[in-house]
Structure 1
Amino acid sequence: MNAQSVPGKKKAAAAVIALPYWLREFGQLRLAALGLAAAAGLGAALVLTTLWYRHDAADALAQAQQTRDAAYARFAHVENEKQEIRAYQPRFIALRARGMIGEENRLDWVEAVRQVQERRRLPPLSYEIDPQQPVRLEAAVGLGEYRLHASRMRLHMDLLHEMDLFNFLADLRARSFYAAQDCSLKRLPLAQNVANAPTLAADCTLNWLTLTPAAPAPVAAAKKGTR
């Protein structure tokens, strides 16, 4: 039996010796290879984690910048509104005192016409006022929450001379706001033996202007279902 076993051992030894040197040394390098693979995996995980945190930080920074920009825009808007209020408040108060802002007051207009007529000692005049209508402007004008309206007055008056009309319109403008749409003058026949008789007749169309708050948008009624 010993004689037969010796050749088998020699064959096994010969097989071991025939292996490449790097494969024979793999057993000694296995732990180092495993450690290297583990270190490489850990390094890759750390890199991915760092990239994720960096991306998340970039998103947080962008959101913070957007919040800051929005806050700055609101602040700038408030400051602009404050400056506009300081600049236009005196003018607004003056317009409201003269009846330009708010609901129209036709009694004030009629009273202004009467007072100017009496002060200038003009002949009797007549007028009629149409219903109030919204005004459509050709160019856009920033009116804020207000809308421009006008009430048309058709005015007829007799005059001693042309300056009576100009003085009447100037005095009327100093008391309220209107836009003269048109005026026409015609000469009257001369009255015989009448002192201070009118020589001219004027027909004017005036538009009395008011700025009224815009009506709030209608709220849609809730639909009621039936079962």
Structure 2
Amino acid sequence: MSPAKNVAKKQPSAPLPWWLREFSQVRTALLVFLVVLACSVSAVVLSRWALHEAQASQTRAQQLRNEARQRYVNVETEKLEIATYQPLFAILRERGLIGQENRLEWVEAIRQVQEQRRLLPISYEIAPQQPVVMEPALDLGGYSMRGSRMKLHMDLLHEGDLFSLLSDLRARTHFTVQECAIKRAAGAGNPVAAPDAPLAPALSADCTLNWLTLTPTAAQAAPPMGTRP
């Protein structure tokens, strides 16, 4: 027997599984299913993203509406406060409490009261302006309380002269009385030499006054205009 005839016969291949043999019949349907599945998943993902964006947009719109409503409420509140407090603000500014201090007005007010009440001579000395520390602290907005201390000396015919001076000044300006000391004048009680001689003071008063101003905070960098150190 020749070598060529000794070649082993080729073994027959194993049969394919039934699901591979039938695959050709469902291949189209499977491809359609996969396409539909991919489209469905994409649709779900896009729907969830669109829902998230819509919710975020609604939240932003709600925040904007709330902010607009709050601004409206603030504007209405400010309008009401302006209508309520503007007359008082104008009065306080006219009386010198709000704005830069004006020592000339203080001096003029003392002079006018002295002339109108026919008071005895008054002398005074004003110290440099200083911040006022309030306890408890108050929210003054864009203003700060500042004060200038005045040492005032006046001769009195009686105690009522001092009270009249302080009362008249308080009606025109704003200040606090830190302290006052009244003492009997030297030579008080001596008889008057002549009927035409001027009345001699029976008392003298030494007071410490703090003249107050509400100064805008931004204006404190520059020295006040029209003041003396």
TM over 0.5: yes
- Structure 2 CA distance, aligned partners of 1:84 and 1:141? 18
> What residue number does 2:8 align with?
none
CA distance in 2, matches of 1:216, 1:129: 21
Deviation at 1:127?
0.9
Task: Read off the aligned partner of 2:213 and give its amino acid letter.
Answer: T
Q: Among residues 190, 193, 201, which one is paired with 1:192 in the alignment?
A: 190
Residue 196 (structure 1) shift: 4.1
Which structure has more relative contact order (CA 8 Å, sep 6+)? It is 2
The reply on whether 1:206 has 2:204 as its aligned counterpart is no
* 1:4-23 alignment, distance < 5 Å: 22-23=19-20
TM-aligned CA deviation for residue 205 of structure 1: 0.6
Q: Residues 191 and 197 of structure 1 are in contact (CA less than 8 Å); yes or no, is this contact kept in structure 2?
A: no
Gaps of 5+ in 1: 1-10, 219-227
Runs of 4+ deviating beyond 6 Å: none
Q: Do 1:156 and 1:201's aligned partners in 2 also have CA atoms closer than 8 Å? A: yes
| Percent of residue pairs bearing the same amino acid type | 54
> What does residue range 46-125 of structure 1 map to in structure 2 within 5 Å?
46-125=43-122
- Structure 2 gap ranges (5+): 1-11, 193-197, 222-229
| CA deviations over 1:41-67 (Å, ceiling 9, x no partner) | 111111011111111222222222222
DSSP-derived class of the 1:141 partner: coil
Structure 1 residue 110, shift from structure 2 partner = 1.2
Q: Deviations over 1:123-167 (max 9, x none)?
A: 212111112222232233232322322111101112222222222
- Superposed, which structure 2 residues align to 1:127-138 within 5 Å? 127-138=124-135
CA contact (8 A) 1:182 1:205 kept: yes
Tell me the SS of whatever aligns to 2:218. coil
Residue in 1 aligned with 2:3? none
Specify the code of the residue in structure 2 equivalent to 1:65: Q
For 2:75 and 2:89, locate their aligned partners in 1 and report how far apart those are by CA, in whole Å. 19
With normalisation by structure 1, the TM-score equals: 0.79
